[in-house]
Chains A and B, each alone.
Chain A
Amino acid sequence: DGGITQSPKYLFRKEGQNVTLSCEQNLNHDAMYWYRQDPGQGLRLIYYSQIVNDFQKGDIAEGYSVSREKKESFPLTVTSAQKNPTAFYLCASSIMVTVETEAFFGQGTRLTVV
């Protein structure tokens, strides 16, 4: 079953703790993305990666970090430096070509800071 999988679906974190969200895809896509979704604000880009061992900051990268050690995996770490981490996080992937194509999304992880 091909697709993009995020885990866990729900995550609770204590203030001051780092937490890592998992994103795995078996679509053989080169590009992967992390978005944050808040009510009334659409989807905002945190980080994106177009190739293994390379990634770029999006519009709201502060307080987040990523790695891309494997083509299939693009984990996101929400650090204690992120002031307001409670949100819904969506991972996506797309074929890396010079012509734009559909971005496929995971089912999301809802992070709550307690």
Chain B
Amino acid sequence: GENVEQHPSTLSVQEGDSAVIKCTYSDSASNYFPWYKQELGKRPQLIIDIRSNVGEKKDQRIAVTLNKTAKHFSLHITETQPEDSAVYFCAASKSFIIQGAQKLVFGQGTRLTINP
């Protein structure tokens, strides 16, 4: 089955600097890669996602890149702000055409701390 590895497990950056979180996946058939943000005591929420037919996607200060050949994808946060402090999870899934339900496999999570 799919296995997703996420690094680093903790990351501390100065406010205004950039942060990069990396994930690798094992199943070459995976074709959907979302990133979730979980603030302390709250539910995970989708912040950005990318599909396998796209190499990069950007949404304001957040971007995700995907390298299908190497089977890794990364989250980039620029101009970090204190409210970016949270746990970030990457995930991978593939279509089950017959079944229709996606089966997300999550990475271990990265605790990002933005220092003022």
Contact = CB atoms under 8 A, between A and B. Distances in A.
B102 A94 contact: yes
B9 to A, nearest CB: 7
Nearest to A55: B101
Interface stretch (A19-27, A76-84, A101-109): A101-109
A14 B99 CA distance: 37
B25 to A, nearest CB: 13
Interface residues of A, number: 30
A43 interface: yes
Contacts of A101: 102
18 contacts: A30-B100, A40-B9, A43-B91, A45-B104, A48-B101, A59-B1, A59-B105, A90-B43, A94-B101, A98-B97, A100-B31, A100-B32, A100-B34, A100-B95, A100-B102, A103-B104, A105-B43, A105-B44
Interface string B60-72: 0000000000000
B108 A40 contact: yes
Interface string B38-82: 000011111001010000000000000000000000000000000
Given A99-B95, A107-B42, A50 B101 contact: yes
**A-side interface mostly:** loop
B: contact size bracket: 20 to 34
Contact of B99 (A35, A45, A50, A102): A50
B52 to A, nearest CB: 10
A106 B44 CA distance: 8
Given A99-B95, A100-B31, A100-B95, A43 B44 contact: yes
Contacts of A56: 99, 101
